[in-house]
Amino acid sequence: MIPGQKDNFISGLTEDLLKIKMKKILITLTAIALAACTGKPAFDPASVADATADQVTRVEPLSWWTGMKMPLQLLVQGEGISEYNVTIEGGAGVSVEKINKADSPNYLFVDVKVASNAQPGTYYIVFSKDGQSFKYPYEIAARREGSAERTSFTTADMIYLIMPDRFANGDPSNDSVDGMPDKVARNLAFGRHGGDIQGIIDHLDYISELGATAIWCTPLIEDNLPWITYHGYACTDYYHIDARFGDNDLFKTYVQKAHEKDLKIIMDIVPNHAASGHWWMKDTPFKDWYHVFDTYTGSNIVFSTNMDPNASKQDLYIQESGWFDRTMVDMNLDNPFVLKYFQQWAIWWIEWADLDGFRVDTYPYNEKDPMAQWCAAVMNEYPNFNIVGECWTTSIPQLAYWQGGNENKDGFDSHLKSIMDFPLHDALRAGLVEDNPGWGQGILRVYDILSHDFVYHDLSNMMIFPGNHDTARLGDALRKNPDRVKIAMAMMATMRGYPQIFAGDELMFVSNNLRDAGDHGGLRVDFPGGWEGDEMNLFTAEGRAKATKNTDGLEVPQGQAADLFDFVSHLFQWRKTKDVIHNGKTMHFMTRDNTYGYFRYDEDDVVFVYINNSLEPKNIPWTYYKEISEGLTDGVNVMTGEPFEVSDVTVVAPQSVLIVEYQK
């Protein structure tokens, strides 16, 4: 039919007539379909026995939806299941396209076609052999309205990073769980402390009050190794929330409740490695499901092998295929079934839990080409989604290489939207504590890092952060100096990209002195007020005003918790609506006296930031800034709300920051 004919056909009908005609067409089509099925009665679920727990031990993804772009491939596990034929019953539109056998006889990978006319509902996977059949119910649901177009985190957001085990214990009944050997042990830095999803739900208002608009939790899915499981980075079951954090339904509730408070949820995921105690390690579907070595081979952690023109193939192989740790087996994303497993697993969590973004752990440890396909698959399903990868390198060109769209000489495109600005993190921490800076030192380090911005493909998708769960506590790095913590926070609120703050850094937490606290376990301190019986409660204004010192060894500086919280909260509440910060340009000025001045600007607004990181009062060098500051009047001091006029004798106190906003 040519377009003109269709237009004439429809325009010649009233709406009612059109409906009648369409109905007749539908009836005819249904009749044709039924005729085609002659001889095959409708499936009666009662006629086929349910699969026993031995016959089908597992089907993943746990469910699926109509209208998805990602093709569905079911992983089916069961004793000797590969000998069975598989069909899908329960309605037209959902059918088996291909049955793939694995190396192990106890798996099948079933390609399922969910046609555009498929109806949401319960279908049945029917397994048949020698005249015997059993069935397994499988839900194909309707998608949420607007699911594909969901938005994600952007420069308008501030991301609050939480380690759930250390944030708040909302449900003491799940601190230790039968069948899970790692029990609660709050006296150990590497023990479980009992924090959980309910604890986060209970404190969403605190997170909102701070000015955060998104939450990134370290992994919540099951990590059931015998010890050191509190961090969740060694997964033993990709489709279930760890019982010590809650369950899948509670996770979904957490996302809903966060959304009600305009907080986005970013899920932390780890496709690079699974736990040595993952359920599939007893019987992997394929021999090359993960990277197998004769003797333990750890990754050499040399990411440069990915873009180094002089690198040997062997070094690259060890980098991307070596294990992250003895308890973390390295997944083989070059196996197409593994890649597909992780693609649809990621999409399943977005769709099922209504997620707003991903943070991908140990990003460059994944084989880079299949990982790029992984990103592309997620972005194909959700074009506005954001994914930030942990590409932990101090090298700016190497970091830039990993951002999708970057013009890499080898043609590689990661399709990864966001990267973490580790070089800025390092410069900020190093520069802020240098009181007698030499050449290129002090706050000038930050200027130097920003001078490399020409290398990056997309500055708006840089996650900037003064600290996270893997680096020393900001309070320790800045030598317990609250004035410099304020400077760091002010820079995070006013620089390009989007900020991420690690829970507790807003209150200048420092590492505790629990046993074994020398490494990460010690900086991941419990949030005072998150546990019943805590002496301090820093979640409330009243508690912060009274806060002194925690008897557990955590030193919250006396009298400073309330002041710091108010400073950080004011900053990030202000930032929420500042388009000039979200999307404006930057102009910065180089000085060698441990001060730093920069402007964010667009057609309508200018924000001026002046940092005096030195130990003396400083006059703002306005004449030096005149190419952008000339003519600016009616400024407002962002922190005090007071009018601010440009003056040659504006003195800024030592170790402090001034932020002024102007309308052009």
Q: Least distance from C-beta 401 to Ca ion, angstroms?
A: 17
Which of 82, 213, 272, 305 contacts Ca ion by CB under 5 A?
A: 272
The answer to whether 306 contacts Ca ion (rule: CB under 5 A) is no
Q: Least distance from C-beta 425 to Ca ion, angstroms?
A: 24
Which of 65, 365, 402, 447 contacts Ca ion by CB under 5 A?
A: 365
Which of 182, 196, 222, 661 contacts Ca ion by CB under 5 A?
A: 196
Q: Least distance from C-beta 320 to Ca ion, angstroms?
A: 5
Cα–Cα distance measured from residue 423 to residue 398, given in angstroms and rounded to the nearest whole number: 11
Please report, for residues 167, 191, 470, the alpha-carbon distance to residue 530 in angstroms, rounded to integers and kept in the order given: 6, 16, 21
**CB distance 611 to 595 below 8 Å:** yes
Please report, for residues 85, 86, 99, 396, 437, the alpha-carbon distance to residue 108 in angstroms, rounded to integers and kept in the order given: 10, 9, 7, 44, 63
Nearer to Ca ion, 95 or 253 (CB): 253
Q: Least distance from C-beta 419 to Ca ion, angstroms?
A: 18
**CB distance 144 to 120 below 8 Å:** no
* Gyration radius (Cα) of the chain, Å: 28
Nearer to Ca ion, 338 or 580 (CB): 338
Stretch that binds Ca ion, among 190-198, 200-208, 231-239, 562-570 (CB under 5 A): 190-198
Which of 194, 211, 442, 522 contacts Ca ion by CB under 5 A?
A: 194
Cα–Cα distance measured from residue 532 to residue 171, given in angstroms and rounded to the nearest whole number: 10
Nearer to Ca ion, 202 or 330 (CB): 330
Given the residues 237, 390, 421, 661, the one annotated as active site: 390
- Paired with 268 in beta bridges are 359
**CB distance 177 to 142 below 8 Å:** no
Stretch that binds Ca ion, among 112-120, 312-320, 380-388, 497-505 (CB under 5 A): 312-320
Site size with Ca ion, rule: CB under 5 A: 10
Q: What single-letter DSSP state applies at residue 396?
A: H
Q: Least distance from C-beta 245 to Ca ion, angstroms?
A: 8
Stretch that binds Ca ion, among 89-97, 360-368, 517-525, 563-571 (CB under 5 A): 360-368
CB atoms within 10 A of CB 178: 5
**CB distance 268 to 215 below 8 Å:** no
CB atoms within 10 A of CB 265: 22
**CB distance 128 to 145 below 8 Å:** no
Nearer to Ca ion, 213 or 319 (CB): 319
Q: Least distance from C-beta 177 to Ca ion, angstroms?
A: 10
* Residue among 128, 52, 117, 118 at smallest CA distance from 87: 128
Q: Least distance from C-beta 468 to Ca ion, angstroms?
A: 21
Residue 633 identity (one-letter amino acid) = T
Residues in region 159-188 near Ca ion by CB under 5 A? 169, 171, 174-175
Q: Least distance from C-beta 279 to Ca ion, angstroms?
A: 20
Stretch that binds Ca ion, among 220-228, 362-370, 585-593, 610-618 (CB under 5 A): 362-370
Secondary structure class of 304 (helix, strand, coil): helix
Nearer to Ca ion, 295 or 558 (CB): 295
Cα–Cα distance measured from residue 584 to residue 574, given in angstroms and rounded to the nearest whole number: 15
Secondary structure class of 523 (helix, strand, coil): helix
**CB distance 391 to 429 below 8 Å:** no
Given the residues 196, 361, 381, 526, the one annotated as active site: 361
Q: Which residue has the tokens 């050449």?
A: 439
Nearer to Ca ion, 169 or 500 (CB): 169
- The answer to whether 361 is a known catalytic residue is yes
Stretch that binds Ca ion, among 229-237, 358-366, 556-564, 651-659 (CB under 5 A): 358-366
Nearer to Ca ion, 182 or 330 (CB): 330
- The answer to whether 390 is a known catalytic residue is yes
Cα–Cα distance measured from residue 642 to residue 640, given in angstroms and rounded to the nearest whole number: 5
Nearer to Ca ion, 272 or 393 (CB): 272
**CB distance 599 to 588 below 8 Å:** yes
The contact pattern for Ca ion, residues 316-345, with x = CB under 5 A and - = no contact, is: ----x---------x---------------
Strands (E), 424-469: 462-464
The contact pattern for Ca ion, residues 123-162, with x = CB under 5 A and - = no contact, is: ----------------------------------------
Nearer to Ca ion, 174 or 468 (CB): 174
Spatial neighbors of 318 by CB under 8 A, at least 6 apart, are: 297, 299, 300
- Paired with 222 in beta bridges are 237
Peptide bond between residue 61 and the one before it cis (omega within 30 degrees of 0)? yes
Burial class (CB in 10 A: 0-12, 13-18, 19+), 634: exposed
Q: Least distance from C-beta 204 to Ca ion, angstroms?
A: 17
Q: Least distance from C-beta 561 to Ca ion, angstroms?
A: 24
Nearer to Ca ion, 215 or 329 (CB): 329
Stretch that binds Ca ion, among 151-159, 193-201, 350-358, 616-624 (CB under 5 A): 193-201
* Residue among 416, 493, 417, 473 at smallest CA distance from 213: 493
Burial class (CB in 10 A: 0-12, 13-18, 19+), 623: exposed
CB atoms within 10 A of CB 405: 14
Stretch that binds Ca ion, among 264-272, 274-282, 416-424, 564-572 (CB under 5 A): 264-272
Q: Can you give the binding site for Ca ion, defined by CB under 5 A?
A: 169, 171, 174-175, 194, 196, 272, 320, 330, 365
Catalytic residue numbers? 361, 390
